[in-house]
Structure 1
Amino acid sequence: MHDGDAIPEALPEEDDEELSARRPRRKGIYILPNLFTLAALFGGFYAIVMAMNGRFEQAAIGVFCAMVLDSLDGRVARMTNTQSAFGEQMDSLSDMVSFGAAPALIVYEWALKGLGKAGWIVAFVYCACAALRLARFNTNIGVVDKRFFQGLPSPAAAALVIGFIWVMDDAGWKNVSEIAALAWWALALTLYAGVTMVLNIPFYSFKDVSFKKTVPFIVIVAIALGIAIINIHPPVVLFALFAIYGISGYVVYAYKKAKGKQVSVIATSIDEPDERGLHG
């Protein structure tokens, strides 16, 4: 046998543990919180489909169900320690559909299409403001006072617009796109909700409310009474609650200004070193 034909020495077998350590692990997806997010996304999609078929009461219910589910996914993730970057991105995309695109399309189909160019422009402004508000929230999450939202949160803005539609539909107003007065009211409310999302106005976030602490018995009684009041007439009560919340930020802003307290100015990035929250 020629020297050049020598059989190479066998490489030592690598340990299975070393191979598994070198091999990149696939990142899984937490199923529980993302189920809530997907359900919220379905609520927004369902609302759009119902509006396309002229069933605006069901569209409103779809958006409000999406709101409830959206409020649960984050809490479930924190309680079960299943937070992830994937879940955060999924939640933002779901919010954009359910509280950005869905309300804009529903109100356009319900009333604004009768106003011509002004109608679809305002619907787009609302949709664009929802996207800007969500993007600003994601980028500024580390520099704001957690007790407050910077601008009206998108679920509350959606509740203002959709709540008004639900109240009017429940009262028997049909073919609103042909009723100029109601259509202009819808346009004004949609513009108000959209612009308020991106203004530098503080809205209480309720994030400092802990569900792990004990509360007096009277608090449970108050919650039961609240549920009973909502069930008296859900469209009117829910719209009234969100209308009050929708102006509360301006009241807080005016109060802080009157007392000489600092009101935060949030830019579109956390890269600026002198960013400050609502601490004052």
Structure 2
Amino acid sequence: MTEAKKTEHLLDDEDSEVLEPVRPRRKGIYILPNLFTLAALFGGFYAIVMAMNGRFEQSVYGIFCAMVLDSLDGRVARMTNTQSTFGEQMDSLSDMVSFGAAPALIMYEWALKGLGKWGWFAAFVYCAAAALRLARFNTNLAVVDKRFFQGVPSPAAAALVMGLIWVLDDAGYKGVSQDPQLSWLAFGFMLYAGLTMVTNAPFYSFKDVSFKRSVPFITIVAIALLIAVINIHPPIVLFSLFCFYGLSGYVVYGYKRMKGKPVSVIATSTDEPDEKGLHH
């Protein structure tokens, strides 16, 4: 082969290397935070299966475990710097199952099916409200005052509904769907929890609570006392706390209205929100 042909052959090889398409780098998925999200999703699935078998106390435990895991996945992602858009979407889908569909189906099976069409009406209102609340939360994420939720969060709404089941089941009430009074009580709870998710009432988010800051000694004492009080009778104490939180947003709303202060949690800018950055 002559020198000219060798040069031409080398140039052809270089051109072929240049023209060869570059394969896009495959994107991975962070395992740790998504494991918590999947575990929370399993908690909701487990709760539904237990309700289908009439084991409503186990259903309550499944939803409460999902609540704890749901509160951890975001913190784990931030602590390990593994936040991702995939994780955010996965978290919303998990919340819809565990705190939207699951409580609605469990409550229908426990008490509402005895009310006929009114039963599935209340269950659907709750389920639809959970979907609307999650969609609104995702779209307003950048403009909401992070100190407050716009409407009660779906885990708290689920805790309110499941807390009622826990208290009455612990008190020995069985076959609740056959008791009209308890069925209508469950109906009222479902509508309240569902509609409160889509209101504009501000519910404290606890997101400004930092576990890295030092706190006064009395704070640790108060936490120890709270744990001791919960252990006296967990169903009643926790349900009372859930009810208090479920009413707190309307109390804050009414107080701010009386004082003439802004009540909306939507900020006028995406900067760090404060009271002056809110509008009516």
Verify same fold: TM over 0.5.
Answer: yes
Counterpart contact for 1:34–1:73, Cα < 8 Å: yes
Separation in structure 2 between the aligned mates of residue 99 and residue 133 of structure 1, nearest angstrom: 11
Q: Which residue of 1 aligns with 2:209?
A: 209
Counterpart contact for 2:125–2:191, Cα < 8 Å: yes
SS at match of 2:9: coil
Distance 1:172 1:19, change over 3 A: farther
State the 1:221 CA deviation. 2.2
1:170-197 alpha-carbon deviations (Å, 9 max, x no partner): 0000000000000000000100000000
State the 1:20 CA deviation. 11
Q: Which residue of 1 aligns with 2:169?
A: 169
Separation in structure 1 between the aligned mates of residue 136 and residue 218 of structure 2, nearest angstrom: 38
Distance 1:54 1:28, change over 3 A: same
Identity of aligned residues (%): 77
**Structure 1 length-normalised TM:** 0.89
Q: Which residue of 2 aligns with 1:228?
A: 228
Counterpart contact for 2:51–2:109, Cα < 8 Å: yes
Counterpart contact for 2:202–2:265, Cα < 8 Å: no
Separation in structure 2 between the aligned mates of residue 70 and residue 219 of structure 1, nearest angstrom: 25
Residue identity in the other structure for 1:63: I
Q: Which residue of 2 aligns with 1:40?
A: 40
Residue identity in the other structure for 2:203: F
Separation in structure 2 between the aligned mates of residue 134 and residue 88 of structure 1, nearest angstrom: 11
1:239-272 alpha-carbon deviations (Å, 9 max, x no partner): 1101000000000000110011112276xxx9xx
State the 1:237 CA deviation. 1.1
Alignment gaps of 5+ in structure 2? 1-5, 271-275
State the 1:78 CA deviation. 0.5
State the 1:25 CA deviation. 1.1
Counterpart contact for 1:37–1:94, Cα < 8 Å: yes
Distance 1:277 1:191, change over 3 A: farther
Query: In terms of mean alpha carbon deviation, does 229-238 or 95-104 score higher?
Result: 229-238
Counterpart contact for 2:149–2:265, Cα < 8 Å: no
Distance 1:210 1:7, change over 3 A: closer
Q: Which residue of 1 aligns with 2:119?
A: 119
Q: Which residue of 2 aligns with 1:273?
A: none
Alignment of 1:1-280 (within 5 A): 9-10=9-10, 11-13=12-14, 22-264=22-264, 278=278
Counterpart contact for 1:143–1:277, Cα < 8 Å: no
Separation in structure 1 between the aligned mates of residue 203 and residue 144 of structure 2, nearest angstrom: 12
SS at match of 1:24: coil
State the 1:79 CA deviation. 0.8
Query: In terms of mean alpha carbon deviation, does 209-218 or 243-252 score higher?
Result: 209-218
Distance 1:211 1:172, change over 3 A: same
CA RMSD of aligned residues (A): 2.6
Separation in structure 2 between the aligned mates of residue 7 and residue 170 of structure 1, nearest angstrom: 87
1:57-86 alpha-carbon deviations (Å, 9 max, x no partner): 000011011000000000011111110000
State the 1:21 CA deviation. 11
Alignment gaps of 5+ in structure 1? 1-5, 271-275
State the 1:145 CA deviation. 0.5
Residue identity in the other structure for 1:58: Q
State the 1:235 CA deviation. 1.1
State the 1:279 CA deviation. 6.2
SS at match of 2:149: strand
Moved over 6 A (4+): 18-21
Separation in structure 2 between the aligned mates of residue 211 and residue 31 of structure 1, nearest angstrom: 24
Counterpart contact for 1:145–1:279, Cα < 8 Å: no
SS at match of 2:96: helix
State the 1:23 CA deviation. 2.8
Separation in structure 1 between the aligned mates of residue 230 and residue 244 of structure 2, nearest angstrom: 15
State the 1:105 CA deviation. 0.2
SS at match of 1:141: coil
Residue identity in the other structure for 2:68: V
Query: In terms of mean alpha carbon deviation, does 223-232 or 106-115 score higher?
Result: 223-232
SS at match of 1:203: strand
**Structure 2 length-normalised TM:** 0.89
